[in-house]
Amino acid sequence: MADPVLVFDLDGTLIHSAPEIHGVARDVLAQEGLPELSYELITSFVGNGLPTLVSRILVQLGLPGTGEQHHRMVEHFESIYQQRFDLTSLYPGVMSMLHDLSGRHRLAICTNKPQAPTRAVLAHFGLTDFFSVVIGGDTLPRRKPDPLPLHQAIRDSGGGDAIFVGDSEVDADTARNAQIPFALFTGGYRKTAVEDLGAKWIFDHHDEFRP
């Protein structure tokens, strides 16, 4: 029997991008003449995709979470985000983990980050060749926690057994909805207790994850 497909979330799982997201949000808000929001608050909005992030920012500021301003800010955010990596970093052990796992597993990405910045950040960190399949938040009509993107990533990888690796409540819900075993990286952006996320594997450092 073939080894399972390993499908990875990106932000909070392979890359620590919250400082970058906060920095871009600060610039987008400044251009709109809106006040800056804290790092902690912006980080709490991460996980459900860029349109939802921007919507939550606007609602937090007492503004409509949809409409022309929302659309403009999403476009501006994405245009900056796919070119800026100064504050983004790989979590320790990610590169060695991917080298080890790629020898016997098919690897894929399933993220709510839009496709363009996803591919840009993978290329920036030299990760592109590890992943034959990349599903972004705008690749399909629905995004996580809907199971469609995860199922698509598995199908495009050749099908068979799979494990979804993530860091958050959204990822845990996605795995549950897709009826796929879940592996939890504890160092990401979750707010829920580890034991409440139903993970089959739990790891604090990427050197520890070898399913």
Could you list the pLDDT tens digit for every one of the 211 residues in the chain? 579 999 999 999 999 999 999 999 999 999 999 999 999 999 999 888 899 999 999 999 999 999 999 999 999 998 998 888 999 999 999 999 999 999 999 999 999 999 999 999 999 999 999 999 999 999 999 999 999 999 999 999 999 999 999 999 999 999 999 999 999 999 999 999 999 999 999 999 999 999 9
E-only strand ranges, 51-209: 89-90, 107-110, 133-135, 162-166, 182-185, 201-203
Percent of the chain with pLDDT over 90: 92
6 vs 154: CA distance, rounded Å: 8
User: What mean pLDDT, rounded, does the chain reach?
Assistant: 95
Residue type, 31: Q
Q: From the candidates 3, 9, 86, 196, give the one annotated as an active-site residue.
A: 9
pLDDT at residue number 179: 98
Give the CA angle between residues 167, 168, 169 to the nearest 5°: 150
Token readout for 199 is 């993970």
Q: In this structure, are strands 89-90 and 15-16 parallel, antiparallel, or unpaired? A: antiparallel
Q: Note if 9 is an active site residue.
A: yes
Rounded alpha-carbon distances, angstroms, from residue 128 to 73, 113, 131, 134, 141? 28, 15, 6, 9, 24
Nearest-5° Cα angle at 59, 32 to 113: 75
DSSP for residue 105: S
- Domains in the chain and their CATH numbers? 5-16+89-208 (3.40.50.1000), 18-81 (1.10.150)
DSSP annotation of 127 reads: -
What are 126-149's pLDDT values in tens digits? 999 999 999 999 999 999 999 999
Q: Quick check: 168 and 12 in contact, CB under 8 A?
A: yes
Query: 164-199: per-residue pLDDT in tens?
Result: 999 999 999 999 999 999 999 999 999 999 999 999
Location of structure tokens 């604090």:
204
The C-alpha atoms of residue 135 and residue 115 are separated, in whole angstroms, by: 7
pLDDT of residue 8: 98
Query: In the block, which residue shows the tokens 């160092």?
Result: 187
Of the candidates 85, 66, 69, the residue with the CA atom closest to the CA atom of residue 24: 85
